[in-house]
Structure 1
Amino acid sequence: MNIQTYIINDVEIQPVKNTVKELQKLFNQLTYSHLPIVSEGEFIGSISENDIRCFENNNKISEYKHAIEVFYVHENDNWLDILEKFARYNSNIMPVLEEGNNKYLGYLELNDVISIFNETPFLSEAGSILVIEKGFKDYSFSEISQIVESNEAKILGLFISELENDVAQITIKIGLSSINEVIQSFRRYNYKVLSTHQEDAFLKNLKDRSDYLNKYLNI
């Protein structure tokens, strides 16, 4: 997806010669976590509101260059890479530079990039969400795809949603279809199914047997 249409310039890049007080006033009017900074016409990074609130009002930003964080994306970067940078730098604004010469073009807002994700089939198409778990070294996306597609189901998207102690949780969105066969296939391949589904015949049978046993014991 082309992110160039999402680049905005509603707030001018701030000169490093500005005072802390000037940036504090600007932050008061905005909801951004950071503001891009320029020195002699060249983008040098962004400064956070949290830091600005701690500095002396009458000092210039140039006296706090150590607090300027250098993060940005290029105009042709993939939106998933951009979303990852938003998360890594805990920012809701992302400076965009021109490929090749690093000229400042504007910035992206986090909500706009998230809206791109909302338009993907993973979220926009109807389907079932399945969460499975297996050792990090024991699973493969090709195997997961083969399990799903061998049961005549289609994958709308999948990703590693958690990784801890060498165990991976994988979230899969499957197109509208009966997923009981898919669930049972994953169990046969030693995947642990974490999500619950009304169509899960295995769990339904366990519940029915448990209810029968409890009824028998209570006689």
Structure 2
Amino acid sequence: MFIKDYISKDYPAFNTSDSIEEANEVAKEFGYSHVFIKKKGIYQGALSQQFLEESPEGNLASLEHHFEKFALLDDGNILDSIKLFHTFNTNIIPIITKQEKYRGYFSCDDVFSEFAKYPLFSETGALLVVQIHSKNYSMTDVCKIVESNNAKIYGCYISSFVDEEVQITLKISSENLSSIDETFERYGYNVVHKYYDDEKEELLKDRFGFFQKYMEF
């Protein structure tokens, strides 16, 4: 999960003296949303490929006032990248040292590849979103409810705070799902969403199927 283990170095950072046209062509060739600019090895900022496409001829130094100053430190964590990808609408983030020296980059594909290894995303199971007043919220209780029904938790996280209500999203194994629903409700949790077919729903589907066959006679 540490950035230093995922640094790629095949995408160059450009010097301020390099041409806008050259930087734009390299960005298009790699399929990345931004180029990175350095001066004497020190990171200066980033420019979007789309902005370069619309810029007049010249060198990158002429666009200095448009540099976007976003980056990750090489001792950071992958989770730190998520907000930057979203905020700057980018698919690539520069990695720098504490002295602001450019070291390489980290792409959104790296994030997907890493997260895909975790049970939260890789395991097949049920997805639940439960909600309760924040003063009654306890992750310990949430886990106990699932595990007391002989199911496994593959991952859980707080997905939102709405007024004084907290929502928790859980990825769990598919055992005893109806019992888990009922236990959550018994402990004051509201099951906001559930992405699976519980036993009652299956029964209704079966009965509806029989009804359709009956009507066809």
Q: 1:127–1:186: structure 2 CA closer, same or farther, 3 Å change rule?
A: same
| Residues in 2 aligned to 1:137 and 1:30: alpha-carbon distance in whole angstroms | 49
Of all paired residues, the percent bearing the same amino acid is: 30
Equivalence map 1:119-158=2 (5 Å)? 119-136=117-134, 138-158=136-156
| Residues in 2 aligned to 1:196 and 1:109: alpha-carbon distance in whole angstroms | 30
- State the partner residue of 1:183: 181
Q: What TM-score do the two structures reach when normalised by structure 1?
A: 0.80
- State the partner residue of 1:32: 32
Q: 1:66–1:28: structure 2 CA closer, same or farther, 3 Å change rule?
A: same
| Residues in 1 aligned to 2:119 and 2:176: alpha-carbon distance in whole angstroms | 19
Question: Is 1:183–1:200's contact at 8 Å kept on the other side of the alignment?
Answer: no
- State the partner residue of 2:43: 43
Question: Is 2:126–2:195's contact at 8 Å kept on the other side of the alignment?
Answer: no
Mark the runs of 5 or more structure 2 residues left unpaired by the alignment: 209-217
Question: Is 2:149–2:176's contact at 8 Å kept on the other side of the alignment?
Answer: no
Mark the runs of 5 or more structure 1 residues left unpaired by the alignment: 212-219
Letter in 1 for 2:159: S
Secondary structure, counterpart of 2:157 in structure 1 = strand
Deviates more, 1:116-125 or 1:187-196: 187-196
Question: Is 2:127–2:196's contact at 8 Å kept on the other side of the alignment?
Answer: no
- State the partner residue of 1:91: 90
User: How far has the Cα of 1:13 moved from its partner?
Assistant: 0.6
What per-residue deviation string (whole Å, max 9, x for no partner) do you get for residues 102-161 of structure 1?
A: 322100111012110000111122322212233455533233223222323221111233
Question: Is 1:160–1:170's contact at 8 Å kept on the other side of the alignment?
Answer: yes
User: How far has the Cα of 1:83 moved from its partner?
Assistant: 2.7
User: How far has the Cα of 1:57 moved from its partner?
Assistant: 1.8
Q: What TM-score do the two structures reach when normalised by structure 2?
A: 0.81
| Cα RMSD, aligned residues only | 2.8
Letter in 2 for 1:40: K
